[in-house]
Amino acid sequence: MVRVAVIGSKGYLGSRVSSSLRTKGLDVLEVVRTTQFLQSLQSMNLETSDDRDTVIFAAGAVRHLTQEDEIRNYTSQYLDSVRESVAIAKKLGFPRFLFLSSGDVYGFNKLGRVTEESALNPVTPYGESRAAGEALASFLAASEGLNLLITRLFLVAGPNQPERFLNSALSTLKSGLTFRVNRPNATRD
């Protein structure tokens, strides 16, 4: 049976990933804080190995930070969680590491179109932390012999989503107010 460890399994995205994988019959290890993962290992069969066993990194809540010390602390904690998650994958013997990143690593694109080949140009602390996390995960995964896949998610939305842009925009429209969209023609491949 394929086993999957989901780092950040209690967050908005990680909880949905865990639930979906479990529904498909996979053996899912939910990791809330990477430092507590040893306690969680008791629930997973680690006797056999499968080359499809995967760690999914879905950690790191969206934060709107403004103070320099908040930004440094958040980024430092995020990068620590990336390091710990790669160590978990290695300790478990899981050969695959799926890093759920963000389209925010691209920043603003003057052409309005983003492709996989577009340069990274984060313009927010959140985007910068994700770009740094991708670079660190790439380096560590290569060092540990893990097969890394980075996916960059754009506008994650769904039921029970925390108050963010989409919910805010819908509430604004429902109330009869308007807001400006700076790049309404921007597209992604």
Q: In this predicted model, what pLDDT tens digit does every residue of 108-156 receive, in sequence order?
A: 777 677 888 888 999 888 889 999 999 999 999 999 999 999 999 887 7
Q: Is the dihedral of CA 58, 115, 106, 145 positive or negative?
A: positive
Q: What 3-state class would DSSP assign to 135?
A: helix
Q: Give me 82's structure tokens.
A: 């990336």
Encoded tokens for 175: 């109330």
For residue 157, name the pLDDT band (cuts at 50, 70, 90).
low
- The residue-averaged pLDDT of 166-179 equals 72
Do 149 and 47 contact (CB within 8 A), yes or no? no
How many CA atoms lie within 13 Å of 86's alpha carbon, on the beta-carbon side?
23
How far, in Å, CA of 42 to CA of 60, rounded?
25
pTM attached to this predicted model: 0.77
User: Exposed/middle/buried for 123, CB within 10 Å: 0-12, 13-18, 19+?
Assistant: exposed
Whose tokens are 């989409």? That residue is 166
Q: Which two tokens stand for residue 128?
A: 């910068």
